[in-house]
Structures are given as C-alpha cells and as structure tokens.
C-alpha cells in the first residue's frame, strides 16, 4: 500500500494554523468531495483536542493555553488517514484508551445515544462538549486506531488515527 503525505506538522496548534490547514484539505482538489468534507470536520475537531488538552503547551499573553503536538494527513488509493500525537498524563492515557475501546465497540445508534448523553451532561464552558472522538467515528464510520508510548513516570504520548474512506 503506497502512502502519500498531504500534510505533516509539529508544533503549537494555533487556531489560525488549524483553520488554514483544514481549509486547504477541504479544497484540495475536485474529487472525493464528500470524503474531504468529513476529513475537514474530523481534522478541526481532533486538532482542537490537541490544542485544548496536550500536556505540552504554550501560554500566550499570560492567558491562552495552546497545546503542542503533531499531525499527519496521508492518503492511499482508497482512504485518507489523519493522525494526531500529543503528550498526556499517564492516567489520562488509560482513560482515553478505554474510551476509544468503548467507542470502537459501539454501533452507530449507540454512539448517537452516547453523544447525546455526553453533550447534555458535559459541564460546558471551557470544557466543551467532550464528544469529539465519538463524532470522528460517527463521521468516518471507521474505528479509531490508538497507541500509547511511554515518555517517563508521569507522561505518555497518545497517538490517534482516523481513517476516512474516499468513496
């Protein structure tokens, strides 16, 4: 299977960058328009997760927290692959891994229920809706691939990959 790199980035996930990258992905070419619309939505959602939750972050103007991480968008003949990688607390990596397993084992309608429950029960404000991973699976209709890589006693890297079928 031959992979072609569409985009690769490592650094702080500023909204301005995310927006430009996302818009370029959405408008890449005239084919697979529906798949690229889904890729755009998933790209924005998961990139903002890195920005909001990465344990490696910058503080801008003494207020705003901007997460640091990596992203990669690749394609094969029949799929787009979007990956994010960022630093998380070891304890959070375990929670995230369990959450991915639950989402991967749930049917579409169950995911829809989970999304509704989660959104209604989320505290809102700075915590958002906390349904980005569910949304990624509902949009792509593919399971999440994830990997936890040890850094030290406190932190791990969490890599998440979403596959989007072109047709």
- Cβ closer to other proteins: 101 or 116? 116
Distances (CA, A) of 156 to 96, 136, 145, 150, 153: 12, 22, 16, 5, 8
Which residue in 38, 100, 144, 157 binds other proteins (CB under 8 A)?
Answer: 38
Long-range contacts from 61-64, C-beta under 8 angstroms, 24+ separation: none
- Asked if residue 121 binds other proteins (CB under 8 A), the reply is no
SS3 106: coil
Closest to other proteins by CB, 37 or 58: 37
Closest approach of other proteins to the CB of residue 72, in Å? 20
Please give the C-alpha separations between residue 90 and each of 110, 122, 152, 154, in angstroms, as whole numbers.
Answer: 28, 23, 9, 6
According to the binding rule CB under 8 A, does residue 75 interact with other proteins?
no
Where are the alpha helices (H) located in the chain, listed in sequence order?
15-26, 33-53, 90-104, 108-121, 132-140
**Which two tokens mark 24?**
């370029």
Which of 87, 93, 103, 115 touches other proteins by CB under 8 A? 115
Nearest to 144, CA basis, from 129, 128, 159, 165: 159
Contact residue for other proteins among 6, 9, 17, 41 (CB under 8 A): 41
Told to check if 163 binds other proteins by CB under 8 A, we report no
CB of 88 to other proteins, least distance (A): 19
Q: Which one of residues 6, 9, 17, 37 is an interface residue with other proteins (CB under 8 A)?
A: 37
By CB under 8 A, is residue 40 in contact with other proteins? Answer: yes
Q: Are 57 and 67 in contact (CB under 8 A)?
A: yes
Per-residue contact string for residues 47-66; x = within reach of other proteins by CB under 8 A: -x--x------------x--
């Amino acid at each position: 299977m031959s992979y072609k790199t569409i985009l690769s980035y490592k650094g702080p996930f500023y909204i301005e960058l995310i927006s430009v990258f996302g818009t370029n992905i959405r408008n890449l070419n005239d084919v697979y328009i529906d798949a690229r619309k889904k890729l755009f939505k998933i790209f924005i959602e998961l990139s903002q997760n890195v920005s909001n939750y990465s344990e490696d972050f910058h503080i801008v103007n003494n207020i705003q927290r901007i997460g640091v991480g990596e992203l990669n968008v690749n394609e094969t003949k029949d799929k787009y692959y979007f990956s994010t990688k960022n630093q998380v607390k070891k304890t959070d990596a375990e929670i995230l891994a369990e959450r991915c397993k639950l989402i991967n084992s749930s049917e579409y309608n169950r995911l829809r229920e989970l999304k509704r429950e989660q959104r209604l029960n989320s505290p809102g404000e700075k915590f958002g809706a906390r349904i980005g991973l569910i949304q990624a699976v509902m949009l792509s209709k593919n399971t999440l691939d994830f990997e936890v890589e040890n850094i030290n006693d406190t932190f791990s890297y969490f890599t998440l990959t979403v596959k989007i079928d072109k047709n």
